[in-house]
Amino acid sequence: MKTAPPTAAAPAPPPVRFDPLLLCAVLGLVSLGLVMVYSASAVLAQDKLGDSLYFLKRQLSAAGMGLVGMAVMMKLGWRRLARLAYPLLLLAIVLLIAVAIPGIGTTAGGARRWIRLPGFSLQPAEIAKFAWVVYLSYSLAKKREKVATFSIGFLPHLALCGILVLLCMLQPDFGSSVLLVFMLFVLLFAAGTKLSYLVGSVLLALPMAYIAIATSPYRMKRILAFLDPWAHRHDVGYQVAESLMSIGSGGVTGLGLGDGRQKLFFLPEAHTDFIFSILGEETGLIGVGLLVLLYGVVLWRGVRASLAAGETFGTYLGLGITSIIAFQATVNMSVAMGLLPTKGLTLPFVSYGGTSLVVLMGAAGVLLSLSASAQGAVNRPVRTGSDVRGVTA
């Protein structure tokens, strides 16, 4: 892997300096995740599989693969991703279709989300998120000022997003769908799409979202549970109520690593979607503060690297990746703390989940390679000011 053939066209770059702070933050999150995955899953793994280390081992090997992926991305550099935009998107769509086929996709917890391969299982939605950001960044950068137009800049992306969302909802995977839509809006906004289009489509989507929720008892229940988890704590609000109790129990200093009680089968998905609850219980506000700080650093340094990219593609790419991380982290924590209805989004770098971790670490590699860019596109003085404002009108 290390010996990737150097591209002839590549100019010899000055000594590459990756952002050490960003690197530390990502590695810190991954390490924290490994500790928490073990703590949250040991009892469950011992009980169900007879091996308390089962989930830790799998997460460790994923982290190893993620490190390789990160190194490869850092070495390759973000610019090469432009060429991969279409192949990646195609791969994501194929995988999303494949997972919907009963023989290929495996079902767990009422959703068909995984493709079981020898040794590991693949979660196509996690790949789709990354592919979508790469594609959008490439497409928006390519279209440049035409981004502002409805038919070229807005509609095609919206349509493609619709297809991906549709595929995700086949599983169903509401959380990933929301993330895909959110990424579209973030990047369209950054690229300068008219705000009226964005606001308008949100207003249009509201009634549809309402219908989607009201017609699905499963989504309706989630809303009910969100609105008053205590009233539903024995059925639909169970998870959230348990999560709140878990986090609240932690207090400022926490019960101590491994000493949490809620993971003793009270809290379902303690090592995946609700790992934040266990972190809150065992490490308290201090641990939560550290986690938020690490995400804050990733966000800060990610945005900084995006702006330093020197090209719009890089900026979009960096912003998209940073947004995926920040959005998922915020939503996951908010769900665990009862601020948002249950979504099914994992805590990036921390939650158990091989595909997610490998993809996210690869994406972090992209961010790091952005941070190493010599100059920032946005800081560079504008050479030709001819059509700066005209086209946007």
Partner 1 sequence: MRDFKAARAPEPNAKWLKLRVQLLFGLFLTLLGTAFARAVFLQVFEQEKLRGLAQDQYVRQIEIPARRGDIFDRRGTPLAQSVEVDSIWVDPSLLPDVRAASRAMARVLKVDADELFGRLTRAKRFAWVKRQAKPQDVDAIKELGLPGLGFTKEPKRFYPQRELAAHVVGLVGTDGHGLEGLELAFEDELSGQNSRLSGFRDAKGRKLLVQGALDPLERQGASVTLTLDRHLQYVAEKALAKAVEESRAVAGTAVVLDPRTGELLALANNPRFNPNAPEGGDRGAIRNRAALDTFEPGSTMKSFVMAAALDQKLITADSTFFCENGAWPVGRHTINDTHPHGNMNIEGILQVSSNIGTAKVANVLGRERLVAAYHAFGFAERTGLALPGEGRGVIPFPKADVALATQSFGQGMTATAVQVAAGYGALANDGVLMRPYLVSKVVDPDGVVLLENQPTELRRVVSAKTARQVVGMLESVVTKGGTAPRAAMAEYRVAGKTGTAQKADPVARGYSDKRIASFVGVVPAEAPRAVILVVVDEPKTDVYGGLVAAPAFKEIATAAMAHLAVPPSRTVAPPEGVAAAVPLAPPPASKASAKAAPIKAALAEAVTETPEPGTVRVPDVQGQAGRDAVVQLLAAALEPQVLGSGRVVSQTPAAGSMVEKGARVTLELATRQ
Footprint on this chain of partner 1 (rule: CB under 8 A) = 9, 43, 79, 82-83, 141-142, 144-145, 186, 189-192, 244-252, 261-262, 264-266, 280, 284-285, 288-289, 292, 295-296, 299-300, 303, 306-307, 311-313, 315, 319, 322-323, 326-327, 329-330, 333-334, 337, 339, 377-378, 380, 382-385, 387-388, 391-392
3 state SS of 118:
coil
Q: How far is the CB of 316 from partner 1 (least distance, A)?
A: 9
Q: How far is the CB of 216 from partner 1 (least distance, A)?
A: 26
**Beta strand pairing call for 105-108 and 111-117:** antiparallel
Q: Given CA atoms 127, 128, 130, 131 in this order, what sign does their dihedral have?
A: positive
Q: Output 43 or 158, the one with its CB closest to partner 1.
A: 43
- What DSSP letter does each residue of 125-161 carry, written as one string? HHHHHHHHHHHHHHHHHHHGGGGGSIIIIIHHHHHHH
Q: How far is the CB of 248 from partner 1 (least distance, A)?
A: 2
Q: Which burial class, exposed, middle or buried, applies to 377 when counting CB atoms under 10 A from its CB (0-12, 13-18, 19+)?
A: middle
CA atoms within 13 A on the CB side of 337: 16
Tokens for 316, please give them.
């979009």
Q: How far is the CB of 18 from partner 1 (least distance, A)?
A: 20
Q: How far is the CB of 333 from partner 1 (least distance, A)?
A: 4
Q: Which burial class, exposed, middle or buried, applies to 21 when counting CB atoms under 10 A from its CB (0-12, 13-18, 19+)?
A: middle
Q: Output 114 or 154, the one with its CB closest to partner 1.
A: 154
Q: How far is the CB of 76 from partner 1 (least distance, A)?
A: 13
Q: Given CA atoms 102, 108, 114, 119 in this order, what sign does their dihedral have?
A: negative
Q: Output 116 or 380, the one with its CB closest to partner 1.
A: 380
d(CA 96, CA 107): 14
Contact 352, 37 (CB under 8 A): yes
Q: Output 131 or 288, the one with its CB closest to partner 1.
A: 288
3 state SS of 205:
helix
Q: Output 52 or 330, the one with its CB closest to partner 1.
A: 330
Contact 300, 325 (CB under 8 A): no
Q: Output 72 or 391, the one with its CB closest to partner 1.
A: 391
Contact 282, 39 (CB under 8 A): yes
Q: How far is the CB of 102 from partner 1 (least distance, A)?
A: 27
Q: How far is the CB of 286 from partner 1 (least distance, A)?
A: 9
Q: Output 51 or 259, the one with its CB closest to partner 1.
A: 259
Q: Output 116 or 146, the one with its CB closest to partner 1.
A: 146
- Residues 6 or more apart in contact with residue 86 via CB below 8 angstroms: 135
Q: Given CA atoms 303, 309, 310, 315 in this order, what sign does their dihedral have?
A: negative
CA atoms within 13 A on the CB side of 306: 22
Q: Output 189 or 218, the one with its CB closest to partner 1.
A: 189
Q: How far is the CB of 55 from partner 1 (least distance, A)?
A: 18
Q: Output 196 or 215, the one with its CB closest to partner 1.
A: 196
Q: How far is the CB of 115 from partner 1 (least distance, A)?
A: 29
Question: Left (φ > 0), alpha (ψ -120 to 50) or beta: where does 352 sit?
Answer: beta
Contact 145, 294 (CB under 8 A): no
